[in-house]
Amino acid sequence: MAVIDTTFRDAIHIAIDEEMERNPDVFLIGEDIGRYEGTFKVTKGFWPKYGEKRVVDTPIVEPGFTGIAIGAAMVGLRPIVEMMTMSFSILALDQIINHAAKVHYMTGGQAKVPLVVRGPGGAAKQLSAQHSHSMEGWYAHVPGLKVVAPATVADAYGMLKTAIWDDNPVIFTENPGLYTLKGSIPDDKDFSVPFGKAQVLREGSDVSLIGYSRMTQLNLIAAETLATEGISAEVVDVRSLLPLDTETIYSSVRKTHRAVVVYEDWRSGGFGAEIAARIGEDCFDDLDAPIGRVGGLNVPMPYARVLELEVIPDVDSVVSAVKKLA
C-alpha cells in the first residue's frame, strides 16, 4: 500500500478534510477555527473551502458551542468540536458528562450522540497552569464516552476517522508535543484504526513500558537508552483508554514480569494509576517486582521552563524507574 509522509498535525487535518468531503453531515465548531485557522493550524484552509456553515467560528463560550454540537448530533449531524486546549473543556463538563455521555442511555437507545471533542491535551511549552491539563483520565472515568490518545502519525489519522464514524461521543486528545512528529499514513481514505486495541511498538523481554500519547514516544527513547545498558524493554502503546485493551497489556507483563506505567497526567489519580491497579489485580502472580509508575508531579504546571521540565516525565525518570525494579 502506498503511504503519504506527513506530520501528526497534518494527519489530523487530512482525516478531517477527507471526512468532510465524504459526508456533508460532518462539520466543525469551535473558537478561532475559521479565519484564524485554529491555534495549532489544524483547520488551515477549511473555512474558505467549506464555508461558515460547516466551519463555525464561535465566541469564547465552551458550554455554549459544546451544547449546540450535542444537539446537532442528536438530530443526525456529526460535529467535531475543537477545544483550543482540552483544559478549556473543563467549562463544558456538564454538557459532555451529563448530556453527551448519558443521552443514549437515558433515552433507552432512541437518541445517539455522534460527537467528537478534540484538541491539544497536556503540556506544550510554557503555557502554564491553566492551559496544560491532561484531561484524558477525567473523561476515561465516565461511562458513555470513548476516550483515545494516539501516539503515532498513523494512529492520529486512523483513530480520528474511527471517531468521526462512531455513533458515540468520543474524546480525542492530541498532545501538543506530538504535532510536529513525522511519520506516514496509508494512501487510503477508508483506513481506520479500531478503538479498544493496544499495540506493542517494540518487543522486549525484561520490562514492559506502558503508556499512551506522547509518553509512548518517550518510552521508545527510554527503551533505546536501556538497551545500551543491557536491559530489554518492551513498549506497549495503550492508545485507547476507554475502551481499554487489558489483554495486550497483560500479555506483555506476563512475558517480561515487570511493568512501568508512564503518563503525563498528575501521578496521583491519573489514568496510569488505573492501569497499574488492573495489572496488580490480574497479573500479581506474574510479577517479579512491584509495578512502577512515572507521572507528572502533583503541582500546578509552572510557567518557568526550567521548572516545567522538572514537572513533566522525561527519559531519565523512566530509566530510573526501570532500574529500581531490577
Q: What residues are annotated to the active site?
A: 62, 131
Buried b (16+ CB within 10 A) or exposed e, 265-281: bbbeebbbbbbbebbee
Q: What is the DSSP letter of 53?
A: T
Q: Is the dihedral of CA 291, 294, 297, 300 positive or negative?
A: negative
CB atoms within 10 A of CB 323: 13
Rounded CA-CA distance 125/148 in Å is 22
Q: Is the dihedral of CA 11, 14, 16, 22 positive or negative?
A: negative
Kindly report the backbone phi and psi dihedral angles of residue 54, in degrees, each rounded to the nearest multiple of 5, phi listed first. Answer: -110, -10
Rounded CA-CA distance 259/245 in Å is 16
